[in-house]
Chains A and B, each alone.
Chain A
Amino acid sequence: MLTIKNLQARVEEKEILKGLNFEVKPGEVHAIMGPNGSGKSTLASVLAGKEDYEITGGEIIFKEKNLLEMSPEVRAREGLFLAFQYPVEIPGVSNINFLKAALSEIRAYRGLPPLTAKEFLQLVNEKSKLVELDGQLTNRSLNEGFSGGEKKRNEIFQMAMLDPTLAILDETDSGLDIDALRIVANGVNAMRSPEKSFVVITHYQRLLDFIVPDFVHVLYKGKIVKSGTKELALELEERGYDWIKEEVEAQA
């Protein structure tokens, strides 16, 4: 589904990703952990196509296509979704109109007929229930004045509406209370299928109790420096990152 080879990216002369390799197969759930500032959000943004980053080397293949040649909107239409660490507030654009626009463009790209108003509302009802999003929020301006937790839930709601094949969740768990965490995790788990894959960026083992990953990776200084199974997350929770940093320094 996704193959990243030797990816190097920088912003304003600063090298952030320094030869990153990563592979996701259909149906898999990968967790990416790593210290602050190691490049996790940068990887997510580069995947989604943020133009601030300059790709200086490597390649990204998504569903047999060169992802780096696609605009952000085409990536989304191809089935990639990024739940942002910091969702943007857009005053004056209603959540509903925004989703209508997104869904109609995505469906048109995939050769599907537009949903009728009734079908669209049914979908909104169904998916907002899934993440227990207050009906009021769907009518308000996009993320404007939403609490931190509401913004995160809104990201998962959007994900459920747009039905991606690869979803990247960037610290969706941060700022969520225990109940909201369970709700968000249930939303993700409800979407899991042999065709859909997830990349979950997190600092905490807690989320991985709910969304059980197939693989856990550590991103450090712009590279994946260690990969393992879900037990690795437990070990990191217990021991922190120092031992990994030491391993990396020793190899260097």
Chain B
Amino acid sequence: METTIVNHKSKFLAIAEQTKSSLISALPLVVSEAQTALENLDIPTSRHEEWKYTRTTKLQNERFSIQKSSTASIDYRPFEALRLVFVNGVYNASLSDHEKIDGLSIRFDEEIKEQTLIGFDIASSSNFFEALQRATSTSALHIQAEKGAVIEKPIHIVHLIDAAQTLATPSIFVKVHQSASLEINESFISSDATASGLTIRQLWAQVDKNARLEYNKMQDENDLSYQMCLEDIQLADDAYSNFNTLTLNGGWVRNDLRIALNGKNIESNLSGFYLPRNKQLIDNHTKVDHRYPHCVSNELYKGILFDQSTGVFNGKVYVRKDAQKTNAYQNNANIIAGDQAVMNTKPELEIYADDVKCSHGTTTGQLDESAMWYLRSRGIGVDAARRLLTSAFINDVISKISNQQVAEFVIADLTEKNLLYV
């Protein structure tokens, strides 16, 4: 037993040893700390509370490595945006757009200077995968909207995996300066059914005073893929953020989204849907941390679990002692559509302030039988009836996407996957 664990770990340690992290010049301490942490931390297993339902056994048995890209062109432009492409976790300049936009700066890898990363809340690695990401970071991207800049053009970060057994560990820094406004869309895709691997993408975002960030994350890798998204978002006074986690497909998906409300009068919206099929696993861990008074947070996650799939939702909401007049809402609703599908949901509210409005609700049910009967009695087959009800169920999550083109793309994609009926 002991030796197998060491063996699995050693595969990853070997990669880390051979890889120069893209964070090395700007964040040398973070990288060396991560290297040490890798030695000391174990790969999480279901014995760890945070990984109770999300098994890493299969992942540990894989042999990942950092891969070169073979993609020469990519015609993936589902909506109008400035496109930045990563292939196998590495920034690809020739596939990316280079349009100059007033008030927006975009930098990669060595172009990123240490002083521009001041203020990002880069805590020390709390688990093995975080350390692995920092120690091996395949590329780094720094996006900055200057003070007062309202960036109309959406950004679209595309992560393409085009080789098998790939380890992709990109880092993304986003800074929206005071009173600026920015929309970022991020897609994770596979070039075909076999190109897959482990993606660990870390996002650090700062939304400064009175600034706005719209973020739509679209996960659409193939069934063989493993994907982990680590997200640390800090919001300042009067900031607004709207973060949507739209899981369209993926074999094994883990999202760790942590939002710190570091000021007053902040509005933070978190939404997501997941529609796992076959034996897919989709895990959403979220943490909303209210630290100051007069803030609002809304959270809505919805899932339909087909076939033998597994879903995990763990939503932590902290309301600290000073965070009076907080409004914090959380809702997680699930439909079990597959005979052997399982949903594990756990809201965790910790409230230390007394003058607050907080609510949470979780439901897990079946597709409404009487609705199915009504639809079928009108000539609609079982399959289409299910899709109509699926559309109805996740419609309120889709409506949180403020960019109409992105919403339409998501609907079209789910329709093509035979999940929606529109």
Decide if B389 touches A90 in the complex (CB within 8 Å).
yes
Q: Quick check: A105 and B393 within 8 Å, CB to CB?
A: no
> B391 interface residue, CB < 8 Å from A?
yes
Give A51 Cβ to nearest chain B Cβ, in Å.
Answer: 8
Considering the complex, give the chain A residue whose CB is closest to the CB of B373. A50
* A87–B374 alpha-carbon span in the complex (Å): 8
In the complex the two chains form, what is the Cα distance from A88 to B376 in whole Å?
12
Chain A, residues 92-117, CB within 8 Å of chain B (1/0): the string is 11000110011101100100000000
Given contacts A102-B379, A158-B378, contact A88 B421 (CB under 8 A): no
Residue contact A90 to B382, C-beta cutoff 8 Å: no
Q: Is the CB of B371 within 8 A of A101?
A: no
Complex CA distance for A101 and B376, rounded to whole angstroms: 11
Measured in the bound complex, the distance between the Cα atoms of B371 and A141 in whole Å is 12
Question: Which residues of A sit under 8 angstroms from B391, Cβ to Cβ?
Answer: 92-93, 97
Known: A73-B376, A84-B374, A90-B371. A97 touches B381 (CB 8 A): no
Q: Chain B, 381-394, contact with A by CB distance < 8 Å: what is the 0/1 string?
A: 11011001101110
Decide: A93 near B378, CB < 8 A? Known: A72-B373, A88-B371, A105-B384. no
Which of A50, A97, A158 makes the CB contact (< 8 A) with B422? A97
Contacts A90-B389, A92-B395, A97-B422 given; does A105 touch B374 at CB 8 Å: no
CB–CB B374/A76 < 8 A:
no
A68-81 vs B: 1/0 string, CB under 8 Å? Answer: 00011101110000
Q: Tell me if B380 counts as interface (CB < 8 A to partner A).
A: yes
B377 lies within 8 A of A90 (CB) = no
Report if B224 contacts A (CB, 8 A).
no
Whether, in the assembled complex, A9 has its beta carbon less than 8 Å from a beta carbon of chain B, the answer is no
Chain B residues within an 8 Å CB radius of A102: 375, 378-380
B407 to chain A, nearest CB (A): 15
**Which of B371, B381, B393 is the one whose CB lies under 8 Å from A73?**
B381
> Is B374's CB under 8 angstroms from A88's CB?
yes
Interface readout for A36-58 with B: 1 if CB under 8 Å, 0 if not? Answer: 00000000000011110000000
Assuming the contacts A88-B371, A91-B392, A105-B384, asked whether A76 and B421 have C-beta atoms less than 8 A apart, the reply is no
| A48 to B376 Cα, complex, angstroms | 9
Would you call the interface of chain B mostly helix, strand, loop, or mixed? Answer: helix
A-contact 0/1 string along B401-422, CB 8 Å cutoff: 0000000000000000000011
- The answer to whether B379 and A105 have CB atoms under 8 Å apart is yes
Query: For the complex, what is the distance from the CA of A162 to the CA of B382, rounded to whole Å?
Result: 18
Total chain A interface residues with beta-carbon distance under 8 A: 29
Query: Any chain A CB within 8 A of the CB of B94?
Result: no
Known: A84-B374, A88-B374. A101 touches B380 (CB 8 A): yes
Counting CB contacts under 8 A, is A82 at the interface?
yes
Whether the pair B393, A88 counts as a contact (CB closer than 8 A) is: no
| Minimum distance in angstroms from B373 CB to a CB of chain A | 6
Interface size class of B (residues with CB under 8 A): 20 to 34
Give the distance in Å from the alpha carbon of A162 to the alpha carbon of B370 in the complex: 20
**A72–B388 touching, CB < 8 Å:** no
Q: Which residue of A lies closest to B384 (CB)?
A: A101
Q: How far is the CB of A151 from chain B (nearest CB, A)?
A: 11
Complex contact A92–B392 (CB within 8 A): yes
Nearest neighbor of B422 in chain A, beta-carbon distance: A97
Q: Whole-angstrom distance between the alpha carbons of A162 and B380 in the complex?
A: 12
Q: Which residues of B contact A75 (CB under 8 A)?
A: 377
Contact at A77–B379, with CB atoms within 8 Å?
yes
B387 CB, nearest partner CB in chain A, Å: 9
- The CB with the most chain A CB atoms within 10 A, among B374, B385, B395, is that of B374
Shortest beta-carbon distance from A81 to chain B in Å: 8
Give the chain B neighbours of A106 by CB distance below 8 A: 379
- In chain B, what residue has the closest Cβ to A89? B371
Other-chain contact of A72, B371, B376, B395 (Cβ < 8 Å): B376
Q: Are B373 and A88 in contact (CB under 8 A)?
A: yes
How near does chain A come to B78, taking the closest CB pair, in angstroms?
A: 23
Contact of B388 among A87, A93, A162 (CB under 8 A): A93
Of residues 351 through 376 on chain B, the ones whose CB sits less than 8 Å from some CB of chain A are 368, 370-371, 373-376
**A82 contacts across to B, CB distance below 8 A:** 377
Cα–Cα distance between A50 and B376 once the two chains are bound (Å): 10
Q: Is the CB of B377 within 8 A of A72?
A: yes
Contact of B377 among A49, A103, A105 (CB under 8 A): A49
Interchain CB contact under 8 A, B379 and A88: no
Contact A101:B421 (CB < 8 A) given known A88-B371, A92-B392, A92-B393: yes
**How distant is A75 from chain B, measured CB to nearest CB, in Å?**
8
Q: Are B388 and A97 in contact (CB under 8 A)?
A: yes
**What is the chain B residue whose CB lies nearest that of A103?**
B379
Q: Which 7 pairs between the two chains have the least Cβ-Cβ distance?
A: A92-B392, A76-B379, A88-B374, A102-B378, A72-B376, A106-B379, A93-B392
Q: A88-B370, A101-B421, A109-B379 are in contact. List 5 more A-B contacts (CB 8 A).
A: A48-B377, A92-B391, A93-B375, A97-B391, A98-B380
A-B contact pairs, 18 of them (CB 8 A): A72-B373, A72-B376, A73-B379, A73-B382, A76-B376, A77-B379, A82-B377, A84-B374, A88-B370, A88-B371, A93-B371, A98-B375, A98-B378, A101-B380, A101-B421, A103-B379, A105-B381, A141-B392
